[in-house]
Structure 1
Amino acid sequence: MLLERANSLHDKKRARVFAQAIWKITEAYTQKLKDDKRIDFDAMIANATSLVEEARYKSPYSLILVDEFQDISDSRANLIKALKNQKPFSKIFAVGDDWQSIYRFAGSDISIFTQFEANFGASWQGRLETTYRCNQVIADAAAGFIQRNPAQLRKAVRSARPAIARSIRAIPITGERGKPDFSQACMRLLERLDRFLGGIASQWRTNSGAKLKVMVLWRYNLLDPFAGDLPQFENIEVSGLSFHRAKGLEADYTILLDVSEGEYGVPSRIEDDELLNLVMPQPETFEYAEERRLFYVALTRASRGVFLLMNGRQPSRYVRELGAIAGVNFRLETIDGEALPQCPTCHVGHLIERKSRSGGRIMGCNQYPECSHTAQLPERSGDVTRTR
């Protein structure tokens, strides 16, 4: 089956080598389980399904409750169907959010959720559209961002928290040879936050030992700036997690590291390698669909504000989209908090002064040549103008 799938991919030779490697690993793994007289979780699900389908297990349940349904896999769906089909008039009550389906690498198939009736029959759909986590500015921007994929279910999200102006902030980081030091930038930003929150402590501190939570998030663990040794501050409590592990958690502020283009950036290009289609559920048609959902999860962990640290020369396409969606509530700034003159065209670049080909003064986007936005500067006193 793997070799047959391999023949459908663009690089057939590479795919066949990958398929053969996967098969050898699987054989060795299966033999190890047999030798140890053990089974894994997937086998537990498959064996349970067989027991139900063959009526060796009699289900006493008339109501089947399933949480986190957006992460369901084909094998687990088959177990639920077997339980439902065995007992007449049984019901399935499933709760999930397709905007947060981020476990395709573990076998999750979002279509089982979005096409619920095709899989389980006629249903009633209720909507839980109030969020108690992020404020309304972040909720609105994140909803607009995730719904750019037309396959995601349409929702209107209302926040129980009032809007906080400019609560989405992007910070371009530069470095030698185009390699920014995100660990150093992260520490500078944490120190800045600690000082700022200490200055307004009377507005939020309820007791002498209270601290606000700051969660530092990254796409891959190789970006972990702490190496297991979390820094200590007077006014903030810092934690660090990958985007995936942050699901279900929340903080007052979040800092997202390396929201940039690249193999290990955001969106991750290696996650859409066609080789993975050999061993995972079929991909969605929308480009980087799951990466978009993963970024949505990371974006919505903060109640007060989110900071996006990005490569100043290679900002993520997602930052560009957020800039366009959030408008005045999206702020481009330095690591020390000074506002940068944001480019009105690409949203992620900032305007710098340079000379035009004719020798005049113009403001141009620092993302040139990717962005060619320019604006004419007024002549300074003492300048000589020429007209032809």
Structure 2
Amino acid sequence: MTKNPVQISKNVRSSAPDTDETVIAVSVRERSQYGSVVRQHLVGIDEQLTGPAKVLLLGRYARSKDDVTSALDARYANLTVEFNTVHASKGKEADYVVVLGLERSGFPSTIEDDPLLQLAMAAADPYPFAEERRLFYVALTRAKRSALLVTRAGGESAFLLELVRNRAVKIRSAKGDDITPVVCPKCKKRTMKERNGRYGQFFGCTGYPVCAGTMKLADA
């Protein structure tokens, strides 16, 4: 995940995995569905546990907490659930982590006056969104067992698509179906959509006309 070689390498792997997938991504149609899909995920974990476990719900901004109040307010037999911003979670660990808002408009942040982007750094970093990458890295490595990444269909974060391109994670629907999108090979920041052309169907970048990336269906 860490494209920046300056960063310290660390495998984002479970120390006590419950499943083969330690990093899972789920996509919803609307942000208003975050609470229900996270609660559903936590209920599934809770039912499999025989002892106490801790869950951290992490958001890029404090306002992300409003999206998951139903999951936070729910009662679980074995889980203790807490919300933190990613920045505030540094130094913390939990058995399970849920990273919220992995959308283009949320993570990475592109707001120039974002105070987190103004943190003092020793030198200018040549890698795009370097501080945001560090925060994403922090979020993933808080988990001792597994991490759930929550996104919105059609608005996936560039960081999440990077994981998809590297085959490090699949994106599933709330029902568990594999809905992993095809990432544009040209811009690498958007997904591909089936289109009809003069010579038949093909994949075209959803960022068109800004990005004119195309791909044959057979190459996907």
TM-score class, shorter-chain normalisation, is: 0.7 to 0.9
Secondary structure (helix, strand or coil) at the match of 1:245 reads helix
Equivalent in the alignment of 1:249: 92
Report which of the two has the higher share of helix: 1
> Residues 273 and 192 of structure 1: is their aligned pair in 2 closer, same or farther, counting only changes over 3 Å?
closer
Structure 2 residue 182 is the aligned partner of structure 1 residue 343 = yes
Kept in 2: contact 1:185–1:335 (CA 8 A): no
> Residues 169 and 348 of structure 1: is their aligned pair in 2 closer, same or farther, counting only changes over 3 Å?
farther
Secondary structure (helix, strand or coil) at the match of 1:224 reads helix
The counterpart of 2:15, out of the listed 154, 157, 161, is 161
Residue correspondence of structure 1 range 1-388 to structure 2 within 5 A? 145-146=1-2, 148-152=3-7, 155=9, 161=15, 165-175=20-30, 180-181=31-32, 184-195=33-44, 197-198=46-47, 201=48, 204-205=49-50, 210-225=51-66, 226=68, 230-262=73-105, 265-270=106-111, 280=120, 284-286=124-126, 287-325=128-166, 327=167, 329-343=168-182, 345=184, 354=194, 356-358=196-198, 360=200, 362=201, 364=203, 367=206, 369=208, 372-375=214-217
Question: Cα offset for 1:257?
Answer: 0.9
**C-alpha distance in 2, partners of 1:160/1:317?**
24
Secondary structure (helix, strand or coil) at the match of 1:356 reads strand
Question: Cα offset for 1:249?
Answer: 1.7
1:177-229 Cα offsets, whole Å, 9 max, x none, are xxx32xx323323224313552xx3xx42xxxx24332211011111135696
Number of matched pairs = 209
Q: TM-score normalized by structure 1?
A: 0.45
Q: TM-score normalized by structure 2?
A: 0.73
**C-alpha distance in 2, partners of 1:165/1:345?**
27
Which structure: larger Rg? 1
Report which of the two has the higher share of strand: 2
Q: CA RMSD in A?
A: 3.7
Q: Which AA in structure 1 matches 2:15?
A: R
Secondary structure (helix, strand or coil) at the match of 2:182 reads coil
Kept in 1: contact 2:12–2:141 (CA 8 A): no
Report the identity percentage.
24
Kept in 1: contact 2:195–2:203 (CA 8 A): no
